[in-house]
Amino acid sequence: MEVLRCEQLSKIYRSGSAAVRAVDNISLSFEQGGFTAITGKSGSGKSTLLHLLSGLDRPTDGQVIYQDKDLFRYNDNQLSVLRRRRFGFVFQAYNLVGELTAQENILLPVMLDNRKPDEAYLDRLIGMLGIGDRLGHLPGALSGGQQQRVCIARALANKPAILFADEPTGNLDGRTGREVLTLMRSVSAELGITMILVTHDLGVAEQADRIIRLEDGRVEEDSGAVIG
């Protein structure tokens, strides 16, 4: 079942008379519960594509369709609410609030949405990520791997349909990065969440069900062969 698609998506950055096509006429679809890795060299457009798919940036041309509606027909407030409720985000930088405990950081998106936490779901999520004994710690008292696990829990706290991850293992050593990636994949699979991950690391990309390789803003290879 298709959960997200983009049609003829382009992003052009202009500097004076020069124009750079960071994303160039890309059409793709993503299936519910799938794990897709978007890879390519630096400057290939992979992070820009992720930002467009997730509504963090607006395209120059084209559409991103979620639940039969173009993301960019929402106003800014509606789009913000959609992202908060239906999309989760994990980045290379942990972006945890230093003055809040791990538990408070995890609960932050739920509280911002003025909703009551699903305690049973959060307990299960925290248990799956193995951070139950770290909930009272501030981020500065956690290792890099522990901080990223907290970020994953925060991203999943609102039960999103899609988890977007941009180089989530980039700040971690090899062993810890593999552990975090394995956790992300297993948790997302168990909860039925679609995962779209950007990475320059082919070893990370090979863990995905589907690999999309970009070059100069275009799809050069797609192991899922779902190119529009």
Strands (E), 79-175: 87-91, 162-166
Any idea where the domains of the chain sit in the sequence? Answer: 34-58+75-222
Mean pLDDT (10-residue bins), the chain, 228 residues: 94 88 96 95 94 96 95 93 93 93 95 90 93 96 95 94 93 87 89 94 90 96 67
pLDDT of residue 226: 42
Predicted pLDDT at 203:
86
Q: What is the pLDDT of residue 32?
A: 92
Domain 34-58+75-222 CATH (choose: 3.40.50.2300, 3.40.50.300, 3.40.50.970, 3.40.190.10): 3.40.50.300
Nearest to 152 by CA among 206, 198, 88: 88
Q: Which two tokens stand for residue 146?
A: 């522990």
pLDDT on residue 13:
93
The pLDDT score that the predictor gives to residue 202 is 87
- Give the model's pLDDT for residue 15: 81
The CA angle 53-214-72, to the nearest 5 degrees, is 20
CB 196 within 8 A of CB 165: yes
Integer Cα distance of 109 and 202 in angstroms: 32
For residue 225, the model assigns a pLDDT of 57
